[in-house]
Amino acid sequence: MPRHCVLPSPLTAITRTVTVAAGRFAPGHLGELTAVVPFELVDAVLAETRTVQQRLRDLPSRVGIYFLLAMCLFPEVGYRLVWDKLTAGLSGMPVVCPSAKALRDLRRRIGSAPVRALFEVLAGLLARPTTPGVRFGPYRTVSFDGCSSLRVPDSERNRAWLGRTSHHGYPTLELMTLVETGTRALVGAVFGPTAEGETGYAGRLLHLLRPDMLVLWDKGFDSNAFLAQVTDTGAQVLGRLRSNRRTPVLTRLADGSYLSVIGTVKVRIIDAQIAVTCADGTSFTGSYRLVTTLTDARRHPATALVGLYHQRWDHESAYYALRHTIMNGRNLRSGDPAGIEQEMWSLLTLYQALRTVMVEAAEALPGTDPDRCCFSITLHTARDQVVQAAAVITDPAGAGHLGLIGHRILTRLLPPRRQRVSTRKVKSPMSRYSTRHEDGRPDTSRTITGLDINILEPPQCRPQLPAVSRDDRHTALAERRRHRILGLLEEDPNRLWRPRDIASHFGDITMETMYRQLSRWAETGLIHKLGPGLYAATAWTPTPLA
């Protein structure tokens, strides 16, 4: 049965009521965060993963789960000091005093399965439909992004799993997450060696997408196959294209964007030039090339989509909170892959619990943007709560019953986000970003006073192709489109054909049809794709110079 004790606190004059379990389970708590990760939930995931202790020990499995979360909450101290912080608020109650080896054995006995199951229960969208900053029209905005700067101890087992990176001595873990941009909540996460690549990891999270989501991503996800996989889920897309990507102009739209096709997916392309003026008078321009499946220019103007794309950077704030606010730039603890996996799921679970408290506090005051809640204040108050007690107070502004964490968040809200520009800094002399190309951007963060978005229309080129393709269903086999095109390619097997050239040659095929069919035939091996928009009948190699 839960046991209640009242403890004084130097943090506030308000009495705080702490709910802790009885007996050997007493050290298993996280202060106010226990309400987000309750005893019943922890017991359920332990039972589901069959990791409940076979006999009642001094260190039960439930206590081990809370110890793992506290271990990530206090990354700067060792096992024994983490345990001391968990039990510091339990004065007058008999608690065990385990050795560091006993706590290490507790970690091994629990494994990673229950912590991963706990994260999967807590992960998900946190915002309500009325929460500010989380929607674009009817769509919830989410984003994909990877983080490859999480370092682990340089042990033999970690190197065998992750390999060694070229720009520093520590093995590096690749973390891929799907994040709700407005709240920075984790919808899903996977991690592993960096060799697999971002799109490979992101493909494991596609089952979390829904038709009411708008997915944002940067140009690292520019892939025909990945775009097709995302659109197959029913979700909408707004991403950035590489500068060398060539897309056909199928239909010009009134706002300067145009309809195109990538692989077999019908898309809309937006070329934009952004002129930025800073408070000190400096100015510079940047170019963006965006792709979206929102093809209706009247409902979704190009300038609105360009303005929306910057929300993708909310994802970087989530990684900053993980790497620097919680971990304070430290390496992970574990020296083997099993321990790293357990520690990562614990870290992600703790992060999601903190975000849950922040969003709940913002929703206590209607109209409060979760972006104004300070993650650092939330983290430090949660640490104090673990050491001391959990508080329930009545907010004087009338926000209802809040814990001390929520109270501090609402009384120390950040100002509304201002427009500003900053450049990524090189924090390590061995960083792979040791040099930065001169692009006119300032070296320090500056406030933006002027922002001019200019949509660039595609250049006028060759005459328009037919708007409707010829129906080949009732024509003779030798006169059908596939046979005619294959015959054309085989006439000169070494020539590299572009879809427009083929469509212009016949004069009865639209560009959209041409791109889709050439892409399908290349996937089945009927023809060869030798580059972006380049096709041939056989594999082509240049003639060697004499």
pLDDT averaged per 10 residues in sequence order, the chain, 546 residues: 37 46 85 92 96 89 96 95 90 86 95 97 93 92 93 92 76 95 95 91 96 95 94 96 86 92 92 88 86 95 93 91 93 95 97 96 90 94 81 46 85 85 57 56 79 84 72 80 85 82 83 85 85 76 47
Strands 16-20 and 446-456: unpaired
Residue 140 sits at the vertex; the CA angle it makes with 138 and 145, to the nearest 5 degrees, is 145
CA distances from 520 to 224, 269, 515 (A): 12, 22, 9
Sequence-separated (6 or more) residues with CB below 8 Å from residue 69: 30, 33, 37, 346, 349, 350, 353
The Cα diameter of the chain in Å comes to 92
Residue 508 is predicted with a pLDDT of: 82
Residue 366 sits at the vertex; the CA angle it makes with 364 and 371, to the nearest 5 degrees, is 85
Cβ atoms of residues 503 and 509 within 8 Å: yes
Residue 7 is predicted with a pLDDT of: 34
Sequence-separated (6 or more) residues with CB below 8 Å from residue 205: 144, 176, 177, 178, 187, 188, 189, 190
Four-CA torsion 405, 407, 411, 414, nearest 10 degrees = 40
Q: For residue 465, list its beta bridge partners.
A: none
pTM over 0.85: no
How far does CA 51 lie from the centroid of its chain? 30
CA distance 162 to 260: 40
Residue 197 is predicted with a pLDDT of: 87
